[in-house]
Amino acid sequence: MNETDIIKLQTRYVSHEIRNHISICEMYTEILKKNLEKDGYKNNSVENALECIKKSLKIISTSLLDLKSVNNFAPQNCDFKTLSEEGARLSDAYIQGKNIKITCFIKNTAQIYVDENKFLACVVNIIKNAIEAIDIKGEINIIGEVKDKFAHLRISNNGKMISKEKQKEIFEEGYTTKQTGSGLGLHICKSNLQAQNAELKLNKSTKSVTEFEITIPVV
Ligand SMILES: Nc1ncnc2c1ncn2[C@@H]1O[C@H](COP(=O)(O)OP(=O)(O)OP(=O)(O)O)[C@@H](O)[C@H]1O
Ligand SMILES: [Mg+2]
């Protein structure tokens, strides 16, 4: 067996093992939810955390399917506002230990035809970057708007800026300025969105604000 075949086989094994453990996590999330309901325990933060864990597990599962085939998209009509708000909710977990205020305001809504999990993964990647750009204290604004048959989602933060020269490189595979970064986030976002007729661009990066924008046609 050559090295490529070994890696292919390894990929299938690893993916199989990950999937086994995802299903354990999914089952225990359900068990926890049911037990809390049974005991009459009401806590919004715990309920939100369980919903986010469930959704994240779903996103991991669909990502693993990408190892089986290319162009593994399952598009359907989705509500732009619901998806954007869900992306913001999922990303909240990355704030841990920082003083960051995230404001999400989706002005109006429409249906967009996307793979829900892949779209969410993109929104999460962009918000995660925005959080990582802020050292300790800052603000992130997520503004959504449907205008002229397109939905626009603008995600901005007041963290460290991307220099003019580097702005051309950020979408390249492997480009990172982070010690533990892989430089894949924006590259994956851009290609996943492009495959769904959507666009991702950096609107601006200055000392006061860095803003990314997703533009996607409405149904
Ligand atoms: N909101 C942002 N503010 C400032 N710099 C950013 C922002 N988003 C991206 N960048 C820059 O672009 C680079 C590439 O981002 P990308 O998400 O592709 O990779 P990464 O975050 O470094 O690693 P990972 O693969 O874990 O996402 C980052 O390392 C950072 O330098
Ligand atoms: Mg990133």
Output the pLDDT for position 6: 94
Kindly state whether residues 160 and 113 are assigned to the same domain: yes
Please tell me the distance from the alpha carbon of residue 72 to that of residue 69, in angstroms, as a whole number.
Answer: 6
Kindly state whether residues 82 and 176 are assigned to the same domain: yes
The residue whose CB lies within 8 Å of the most ligand 1 atoms, and thus the one to mutate among 91, 94, 124, 129, is 129
Asked if residue 71 belongs to a domain, the reply is: no
Q: Which parts of the chain sit beneath pLDDT 70?
A: none
Asked if residue 163 belongs to a domain, the reply is: yes
Kindly state whether residues 179 and 198 are assigned to the same domain: yes
Choose the final residue of a domain: 21, 46, 65. 65
Kindly state whether residues 172 and 192 are assigned to the same domain: yes
- Residues lining ion ligand 2 (Cβ < 5 A) are 129, 185
Output the pLDDT for position 71: 83
Q: Which ligand has the minimum distance to the alpha carbon of residue 140?
A: 1
At 53-89, the pLDDT tens digits run 999 999 999 999 988 888 889 999 999 999 999 999 9
Output the pLDDT for position 134: 98
- Give residues with Cβ within 8 angstroms of 203, minimum separation 6: 154, 211, 212, 213
Output the pLDDT for position 70: 81
Kindly state whether residues 120 and 198 are assigned to the same domain: yes
Asked if residue 55 belongs to a domain, the reply is: yes
Output the pLDDT for position 139: 98
Kindly state whether residues 37 and 7 are assigned to the same domain: yes
- Protein residues whose CB sits closer than 6 Å to any atom of ligand 1: 125, 129-130, 133, 157, 159-160, 162, 170, 175-178, 181-187, 210
For 39, the domain range is 3-65
Asked if residue 57 belongs to a domain, the reply is: yes
| pTM for the whole structure | 0.93
**Ligand 1 atom closest to Cα of residue 160:** 4
Distance 178 CA to ligand 2 centre (A): 9
Asked if residue 70 belongs to a domain, the reply is: no
The structural domain count of the chain equals 2
Copy the structure tokens of residue 148: 């002229």
Q: Which regions of 72-158 does DSSP assign to beta strands (E)?
A: 76-79, 99-106, 111-114, 137-147, 150-157
